[in-house]
């Protein structure tokens, strides 16, 4: 009943507003009578043309015998000094009606009442909208029931070191007394840092699932709002709910959306800084006896406010990196458990062919393979499905609908053959996996290499080799087609980028082991250089790229027969796998350099 009172009040106000509006409208629509002189009124009376008179102190409303209505103003005090006039009118048969001069109070104040009602309704609507918005935005954090959380550490693969670092949090949430008896304090906050798709959110869910505690989760963007104070209210509500549970995990995804370093010139920084300040205060206000652990994830730890990272807030940073070969194999096995798979599938071979893939990429590979097997009518996923799915994720989908002209096909074949021959001839290059002139993604052709082992650092020789391989396509166009095309644009861009890293970040140039701002960008990581130094940096970048170009030209000039053989094979079958490439090159006298 109490909840109905505001609605009933609003309904009554609306009805009153409508009634006043209708009454005022009806009154305002009555036409004003014509005004005549008082002497004309007297002549009408003498002539017997007056049917009725409405008397008031302010005016006389007269209805004539021809049904016209007119009005006149009597002289001041006329009826007081001429009382017999009224009697004479009655004697002449004129209908007399006396009325008050004051109009209806409701009609008199109708415009003012209408304005007040409208303003009241407007204020009530703004109040309900604001309170409704605040009440809804304060509840954006979702809570996962511990009984329904099925994610465990066994479902998280490829991040063994990260799991070891957070395992003690699970033990604390299960048996807090064992740690408290020794005077130990569990970290209040754990920051998961790593590239996108490496399983940071999945790892946080696994912690909650292993500990059997509620899991409150929200995104950093949930706390950002244009209304002042709303973000801070959301943070207060989130931690208030967390304290009700006693022991729980609060997970904030994409922490950099709200935890960016304070300051700057953003128009919205004041509200964001208020939200960040509230988050800092809440993380400081935890009771040490409470089992509330805040876990956050970000891939931009470098832009976070330093106050977040100090001990007592996010005490511990756990780096969740892309998995290595062993980790990729474990991740594939986890995802393949949900898919009907042929027993002959070599999971390690697929894992070896996916260097640099994140957990999300590997999950996408398995899903694409299952879809491909379904489209082909197979009852289980086979190795060819997984390999095709890997190539699709790595290089893009085949675009067989693009109709290349014969000249474009020939140019593309020699271009890709140039890449492949340089890669096969140089000892530092990774093995060739596939060469195709079928358009994939935005590329008209692709030369794909797969490393034999995971590579964590790069030598100067390896980077020089990569530049030479990238230049192989352009050199092949010049040597065999006597022309140049725009197909080498991406190769040139990548080669220039590698050379820029070598000079500006890796110190692999005669300029020495110094860091410079790359391409004139003030990114805060390199030294501010003079114009003369910038010219020397540009000259070194050009020299490295041109050395790779000359090296590719020397290789292709020596192995012209191998380029011709590989290009003609591509024109025949359009796509060649690693063993087929080696066979074609071996027949032309070129074997892979080791």
Q: Which residues are catalytic?
A: 416
Q: For helices 406-425 and 460-481, what crossing angle results, to 10°?
A: 140
CA atoms of 491 and 445, how far apart (whole Å): 12
| All residues at 6 or more sequence positions from 288 whose CB lies less than 8 Å from its CB, including other chains | 185
What secondary structure, in 3-state letters, does 102-142 show? Answer: CCCHHHHCHHHHHHHHHHHHHHHHHHHHHHHHHHHHCCCCE
Beta pairing partners, 294: 189, 250
Cβ-based neighbours of 528, under 8 Å, separated by 6 or more: 517, 522
Enter the DSSP assignment of 40: H
Torsion of CA 558, 564, 565, 569, to 10 degrees: 150
What is the C-alpha R_g of the chain? 42
Task: Please state the φ and ψ torsions of residue 448, each to the nearest 5 degrees.
Answer: -115, 130
C-alpha span between 369 and 233 (Å, rounded): 46
**Cα–Cα–Cα angle for 456, 457, 458, nearest 5°?**
130
For residue 318, the tally of other CB atoms under 10 A from its CB is 20
């Amino acid at each position: 009943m109490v909840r109905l009172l505001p609605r009933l009040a609003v309904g009554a106000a609306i009805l009153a507003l409508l009634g006043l509006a209708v009454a005022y409208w009806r009154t305002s629509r009555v036409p004003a009578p014509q005004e005549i002189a008082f002497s004309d009124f007297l002549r009408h009376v003498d002539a017997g043309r007056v049917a009725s008179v409405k008397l008031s102190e302010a005016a006389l409303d007269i209805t004539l015998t021809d049904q016209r209505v007119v009005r006149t103003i009597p002289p001041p005090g006329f009826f007081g000094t001429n009382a017999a006039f009224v009697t004479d009118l009655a004697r002449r048969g004129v209908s007399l009606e006396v009325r008050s001069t004051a109009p209806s109070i409701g009609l008199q104040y109708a415009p003012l009442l209408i304005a007040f009602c409208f303003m009241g309704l407007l204020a009530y609507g703004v109040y309900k909208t604001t309170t409704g918005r605040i009440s809804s935005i304060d509840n954006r954090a979702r809570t996962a029931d511990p009984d329904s959380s099925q994610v465990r550490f066994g479902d998280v693969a490829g991040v063994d070191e990260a799991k070891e670092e957070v395992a003690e949090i699970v033990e604390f949430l299960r048996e807090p007394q064992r740690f408290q008896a020794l005077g130990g304090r569990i970290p209040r906050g754990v920051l998961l840092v790593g590239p996108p798709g490496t399983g940071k959110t999945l790892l946080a869910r696994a912690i909650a699932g292993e500990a059997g505690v509620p899991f409150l989760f929200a995104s950093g963007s949930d706390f950002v709002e244009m209304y002042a104070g709303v973000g801070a209210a959301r943070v207060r509500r989130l931690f208030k709910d967390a304290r009700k549970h006693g022991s729980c995990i609060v997970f904030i995804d994409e922490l950099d959306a709200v935890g960016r370093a304070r300051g700057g010139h953003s128009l919205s920084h004041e509200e964001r800084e208020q939200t960040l300040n509230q988050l800092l205060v809440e993380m400081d206000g935890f009771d040490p006896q409470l089992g509330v652990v805040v876990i956050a994830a970000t891939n931009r730890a470098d832009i976070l406010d330093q106050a977040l990272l100090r001990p007592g807030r996010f005490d511990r940073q756990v780096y969740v990196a892309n998995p290595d070969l062993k980790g990729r194999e474990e991740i594939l096995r986890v995802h393949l458990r949900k898919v009907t798979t042929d027993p002959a599938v070599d999971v390690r071979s697929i894992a070896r062919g996916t260097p640099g893939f994140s957990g999300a990429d590997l999950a996408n590979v398995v899903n694409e393979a299952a879809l491909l097997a379904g489209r082909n009518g197979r009852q289980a996923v086979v190795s060819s499905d997984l390999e095709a799915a890997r190539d699709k994720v790595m290089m893009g989908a085949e675009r067989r609908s693009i109709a290349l002209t014969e000249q474009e096909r020939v140019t593309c074949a020699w271009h890709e053959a140039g890449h492949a021959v340089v890669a096969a001839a140089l000892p530092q290059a990774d093995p060739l996996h596939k060469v195709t002139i079928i358009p994939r993604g935005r590329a008209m052709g692709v030369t794909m290499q797969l490393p034999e082992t995971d590579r964590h650092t790069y030598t100067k020789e390896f980077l020089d080799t990569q530049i030479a391989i990238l230049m192989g396509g352009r050199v092949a166009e010049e040597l065999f087609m006597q022309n140049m095309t725009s197909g080498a644009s991406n190769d040139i861009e990548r080669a220039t980028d590698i050379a820029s890293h070598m000079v500006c970040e890796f110190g692999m140039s005669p300029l020495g082991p110094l860091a410079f701002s790359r391409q004139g960008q003030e990114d805060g990581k390199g030294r501010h250089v003079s114009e003369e130094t910038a010219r020397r940096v540009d000259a070194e970048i050009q020299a490295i790229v041109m050395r790779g170009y000359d090296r590719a030209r020397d290789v292709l000039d020596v192995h012209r027969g191998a380029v011709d053989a590989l290009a003609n094979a591509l024109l025949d079958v359009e796509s060649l796998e690693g063993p087929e490439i080696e066979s074609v090159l071996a027949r032309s006298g070129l074997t892979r350099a080791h």
